[in-house]
Amino acid sequence: MAYIGRQPEIGNFQICDAISTVNNQAAYTMQVSSVNVEPETANHMIVSLNGVIQKPNSSYTVAGAVITFASALVTGDVINFIQILGSVLDLGVPSDDTVTAAKLSSNAVTTAKIANDAVDKDKVNLISTSSSAGLEVKGDGTTDGYLQLNCNQNTHGIKLKSPPHSASASYTLTFPNNDGDANQFLQTNGSGVLSFAAVSSDYVKLASGSFSSNSLSFNGYFTSAYSHYKIILTDVVPSTNNANVSMRYRISDSDVTTSDYQNVGQHGGIQIGVASANGTSNQTNTDQFKLQQGYAVSNASNLCMNAELTIFNPLNTSLYKHYHYTSSQHYGSATQYWVTSTGGGYYDANTTALSGFSIIASTGNITSGNCYLYGVKA
């Protein structure tokens, strides 16, 4: 092909550093600027020995950076030059931004060509479409695919793992639009759409309190969320020996003190060394519900009262408000009297909705003990 001016050179041509021959030595290392060079093949070289161009693969061979002549050289032999042609189609290093994607063959960049940790977040753009995921974590035929999130030292982490192949499970989980409130949990609508929800239970602790005076009141906990309420009394000790512990309803956040409480109960007791004592008693038209029958509550050392109460449907405005209880306590000034009671009753002055309740001592204070309120769903 004709050219105007000088014909362009094609290839990466290099002249090796001068090599001094050694008597009876055939192999020599080739260098350019004191750095070893490795021709592609013997055919990519021009070698002049004693002014004669040598024939590749016959007069010499090449292995890496070492040229080996067919016969050992002797004193007086001169290697005039060794020219390495390199790749005859080598165009050198392309200029920046000159190689386009169209010039790369399919599969030209393989995994082996990418150094470990060489691709950072700035080089990754995971875009999902309606038909393909932006990121797919595959299993290896034995282990299910999982995504691992490590700590900043990469010594700990958590995994999000696929169900096993045997489950034949394929579904999508869509996260909520916000992070929810404290103590909530994630729930699904059955179609994979997640949302935050409050913990729900048929038996929920609503409030608690400790005794230190004549009464302990609870207001504002009766709502339509629950049909009835459990009250647990533990380790109750009155300041006055053999005092009764009772309950009053509250309406509009005030104790109901009218004599409209109707109460009946049974008790069973035992006195050490004496026959047991059992009985039935009732209190009508009183101003409180007694929580023990037959005997009152001792305040002697190591003695106390415990009880469980139920208030049924306190917000109903068409029926009287019922309650039920079981209790156990010691009586007297020593441990020889122990009594358990069960009973219940109702308030019949009106059917007004209740706002709460109070636990009271018939005389003196309640010096210690606890009260726990639970809501129970129908």
Helix (H) or strand (E) holding 14: strand 14-15
Please determine, for residue 190, whether its predicted confidence score (pLDDT) is greater than 80. Answer: yes
pLDDT-based confidence at residue 135 (cuts at 50, 70, 90): confident
Rg of the chain (C-alpha set): 48
DSSP codes of every residue in 287-301 = SSEESS-SS-B--ST
Instruction: Using a cut of 0.85, tell me whether the model's pTM lies above it.
Output: no
Band of pLDDT at residue 193, cut at 50, 70 and 90: very high
Q: What is the mean pLDDT of residues 32-39?
A: 93
What pLDDT was estimated at residue 336? Answer: 67
**Distance between CA 375 and CA 246 in Å, rounded?**
21
For a pLDDT cut of 90, what percent of the chain falls above it?
Answer: 68
Task: Name the pairing type of β-strands 31-32 and 185-188.
Answer: unpaired
Of 56-70, 119-133, 205-219, where does mean pLDDT reach its minimum? 119-133
**Separation of alpha carbons 121 and 135, rounded Å:** 13
End-to-end CA distance of the chain: 99
pLDDT range class, residue 19, cuts 50, 70, 90: very high
- Nearest alpha-carbon partner for 247 in 232, 235, 268, 267: 232
In three-state secondary structure terms, 13 is coil
Cα separations in angstroms, 47 against 63, 84, 258: 15, 9, 125
For residues 81-105, average pLDDT:
76
Average pLDDT, the chain: 89
Name the segment(s) of the chain with CATH classification 2.60.120: 205-376
* Among 244, 281, 237, residue whose Cα is nearest residue 360: 244
pLDDT of residue 91: 56
Question: pLDDT band at residue 280, thresholds of 50, 70 and 90?
Answer: confident
**302 by DSSP, 3-state: which?**
coil
Q: What 3-state DSSP class applies to 102?
A: helix
**pLDDT score at 334:** 66
Exposed e or buried b per residue across 322-357, where buried means at least 16 C-beta atoms within 10 angstroms of its C-beta: bbebbbbbbbbeeeebbbbbebbbbbeeeeeebbbb
pLDDT one-digit tens code per residue, 300-309 = 888 999 999 9
Q: Residues 225-250: pLDDT tens digits?
A: 999 999 999 999 999 998 999 999 99
Confidence band (pLDDT; 50, 70, 90) for 369?
very high
Segment 185-214 mean pLDDT: 91
DSSP state, residue 335: T
CB count in 10 Å sphere of residue 290: 23
SS3 state at 146: strand
More confident site: 19 or 91: 19
In angstroms, what CA-CA distances link 87 with 14, 112, 323?
11, 23, 101
The four Cα atoms 220, 223, 225, 228 give a dihedral, to 10 degrees, of 100
- What is the percent of the chain where pLDDT is above 70? 93
Residues in the chain: 378
The pLDDT-based confidence of 81 (bands split at 50, 70, 90) is very high
Inter-residue contact 27 to 67 (CB < 8 Å): yes
Is residue 133 within 8 Å of 145, Cβ to Cβ? Answer: no
Cβ(354)–Cβ(229) below 8 Å = no
Q: Is 194 helix (H, G, I), strand (E, B) or coil?
A: strand
pLDDT digits (tens, 9 = 90+) for 306-347: 999 999 999 999 999 999 999 999 887 766 688 899 999 999
Q: Tens digit of pLDDT for each residue in 53-73?
A: 999 999 999 999 999 999 999
Interval 144-162 mean pLDDT:
93
145: DSSP letter: P
> Quick one: pLDDT band at residue 12, thresholds 50, 70, 90?
confident
pLDDT given for residue 58 in this prediction: 95
The pLDDT of residue 337? 80
Q: Which residues does 162 contact at the CB level (< 8 Å), separation at least 6?
A: 137, 139, 144, 145, 146
Longest CA span, the chain = 139
Question: What is the dotted CATH code of the domain comprising 205-376?
Answer: 2.60.120
